[in-house]
């Protein structure tokens, strides 16, 4: 998996994706609504 741009780590080990208007909060080893971007190792 390639490290993404436009994200920020948030408390409780999740990451906040800022690439589109969904602004998904993604839990570790899960993916956002688009099923493309996901979280691994807090990134």
Q: How far apart are CA 32 and CA 37, in angstroms?
A: 6
Q: Which of 33, 40, 41, 43: binder of ligand SF4 (CB under 6 A)?
A: 33
Asked if residue 10 binds ligand SF4 (CB under 6 A), the reply is no
* Contact between 37 and ligand SF4 per CB under 6 A: yes
Cβ-closest residue to ligand SF4? 32
**Cβ–Cβ < 8 Å for 32, 38:** yes
Exposed/middle/buried for residue 31 (C-beta within 10 Å: 0-12, 13-18, 19+): middle
19 binds ligand SF4 (CB under 6 A): yes
Q: Is residue 15 near ligand SF4 by the rule CB under 6 A?
A: no
């Amino acid at each position: 998996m390639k490290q993404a741009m436009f994200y920020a780590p948030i408390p409780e080990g999740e990451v906040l994706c800022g690439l589109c208007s969904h602004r998904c909060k993604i839990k570790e080893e899960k993916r956002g609504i688009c099923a493309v971007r996901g979280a691994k190792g807090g990134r």
